[in-house]
């Protein structure tokens, strides 16, 4: 099972995503990004975080440590926003914490320009995402971080935010383990990901035994007994069975045909040009508030 901690100090909410996690300190003196059971995404997002994050770790990919965090809303009574307070009060009890990578840089296009990713590592990340149907690691929202960005330790790529993965568990009755998904706009697609080498290396490691161990780390309280399932153990078996069948059918869903980084840049530029051409003349003089803001600092000195 995952380690358990108790949140002792509420620091701030993070509004970069729809789930509004929060940064907290815990009784082990660690700092964590806390993801709440009361969020709009619900407990299934936390189930996906545990299964995909722990599977990635077992396969040798870098994921911040996950912990089970006990949370008392009383420590956040100073939170000024009512909607956030409502979320916190709906999340009393056991939630999911992810080790906070202080000073880490989001893997934005600006950071990607100066941070090298070899095709082997890119292939392993893409392969994992294809296996677990994580369609939320795109060039527009990478859910990747570079850390550390300062000091003498070389920066590395870290995988975060897997709550949108395992899309099949939202509709078990229609799930097809062999189904292929579109990963052409994966955040690492421009690095010529060697998914075939990743498949040859990783697929044999994803055994039924490993999947049972990983799925066993999900708290029983988060495994709702949906239609078709009588007990939480039956739900666990469904995750194991689906992912095991999927890995055995990897030849049918292995993603290929990624556009190069230059092709992606040209595609994005063309999209931006079409958007601006469609705006009235007076609005063309107004900054595009929906575009990606410029990087707040130049990471090239640390990542080059």
Q: Which two tokens stand for residue 51?
A: 């299964």
| 95 in Cβ contact with 46 (< 8 Å) | yes
Among all chains, which residue has been given the structure tokens 């994803």? 206
In this prediction, residues 95-109 reach a mean pLDDT of 95
| Strand 66-71 relative to strand 4-13, pairing | parallel
At residue 130 the predicted structure's pLDDT band, cuts being 50, 70 and 90, is: very high
Strands (E), 79-133: 93-99, 105-106
Minimal CA–CA distance to 132: which of 97, 161, 92, 105? 161
pLDDT higher than threshold 60 for residue 294: no
CA 173, 177, 179, 185 torsion: positive or negative? positive
**Residue 133 zone, left/alpha/beta (φ > 0; ψ -120 to 50; rest):** left
Element (H, E) at 200: helix 195-202
Among all chains, which residue has been given the structure tokens 């009512």? 82
Q: Where are the domains of the chain?
A: 4-99, 105-253
| 192 in Cβ contact with 256 (< 8 Å) | no
Residue 121 — φ and ψ, nearest 5°? -65, -40
At residue 281 the predicted structure's pLDDT band, cuts being 50, 70 and 90, is: low
Tens of pLDDT along 154-173? Answer: 999 999 999 999 999 999 99
Among all chains, which residue has been given the structure tokens 């066993």? 216
104, with CB counted inside 10 A (0-12, 13-18, 19+), is: middle
Q: Which two tokens stand for residue 1?
A: 């099972």
User: What is the chain's mean pLDDT, rounded?
Assistant: 90
No. of helices (H) and no. of strands (E), the chain? 11, 8
Q: Which two tokens stand for residue 245?
A: 């069948």
| pTM of the predicted structure, to 2 decimals | 0.89
How many whole angstroms separate alpha carbon 196 and alpha carbon 173? 30
**Residue 222 zone, left/alpha/beta (φ > 0; ψ -120 to 50; rest):** alpha
Among all chains, which residue has been given the structure tokens 């190069």? 260
Fill in the DSSP letter of residue 231: S
How many whole angstroms separate alpha carbon 159 and alpha carbon 217? 19
State the pLDDT at residue 287.
47
Tens of pLDDT along 205-261? Answer: 999 999 999 999 999 999 987 778 999 999 999 999 999 999 999 999 999 889 877
Query: Strand, coil or helix: what is 130?
Result: helix
Q: Which two tokens stand for residue 211?
A: 């999947």
How many whole angstroms separate alpha carbon 39 and alpha carbon 20? 7
pLDDT higher than threshold 60 for residue 288: no
Provide, rounded to the nearest whole percent, the portion of the chain with pLDDT above 90.
75
Query: Strand, coil or helix: what is 33?
Result: strand
State the pLDDT at residue 139.
86
Tens of pLDDT along 39-67? Answer: 999 999 999 999 999 999 999 999 999 99
* β-sheet bridge partners, residue 157: 146
How many whole angstroms separate alpha carbon 263 and alpha carbon 233? 46
**Residue 232 zone, left/alpha/beta (φ > 0; ψ -120 to 50; rest):** alpha
Question: Considering only 6-10, 101-105, 116-120, 262-266, which range has the smallest mean pLDDT?
Answer: 262-266
């Amino acid at each position: 099972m995952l380690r358990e901690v108790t949140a002792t100090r509420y620091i701030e909410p993070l509004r970069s995503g729809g789930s509004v996690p929060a940064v907290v300190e815990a009784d082990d003196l660690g700092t964590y990004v806390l993801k709440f059971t009361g969020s709009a995404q619900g407990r299934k997002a936390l189930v996906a975080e545990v299964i995909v994050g722990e599977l990635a770790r077992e396969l040798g990919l870098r994921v911040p440590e996950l912990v089970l965090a006990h949370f008392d809303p009383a420590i956040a009574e100073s939170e000024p926003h009512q909607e956030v307070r409502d979320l916190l009060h709906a999340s009393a009890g056991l939630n999911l914490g992810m080790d906070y990578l202080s000073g880490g840089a989001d893997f934005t296009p600006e950071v990607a320009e100066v941070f090298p990713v070899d095709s082997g590592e890119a292939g392993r990340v893409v392969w994992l995402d294809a296996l677990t149907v994580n369609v939320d690691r795109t060039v527009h929202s990478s859910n990747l971080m570079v850390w550390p960005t300062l000091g003498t330790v070389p920066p590395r790529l870290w995988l975060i935010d897997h709550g949108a993965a395992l899309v099949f568990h939202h509709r078990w009755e229609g799930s097809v383990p062999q189904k292929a998904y579109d990963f052409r706009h994966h955040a690492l697609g421009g690095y010529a990901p060697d998914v075939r080498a990743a498949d040859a290396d990783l697929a044999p490691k994803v055994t039924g035994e490993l999947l049972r161990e990983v799925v066993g780390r999900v708290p029983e309280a988060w495994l709702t007994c949906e239609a078709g399932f009588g007990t939480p153990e039956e739900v666990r078996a469904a995750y194991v069975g689906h992912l095991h069948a999927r890995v055995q059918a990897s030849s049918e869903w292995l993603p290929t045909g990624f556009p190069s980084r230059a092709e992606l840049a040209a595609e994005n530029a063309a999209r931006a040009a079409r958007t601006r051409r469609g705006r009235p003349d007076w609005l063309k003089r107004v900054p595009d508030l929906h575009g990606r803001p410029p990087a707040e600092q130049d990471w090239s000195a640390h990542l080059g």
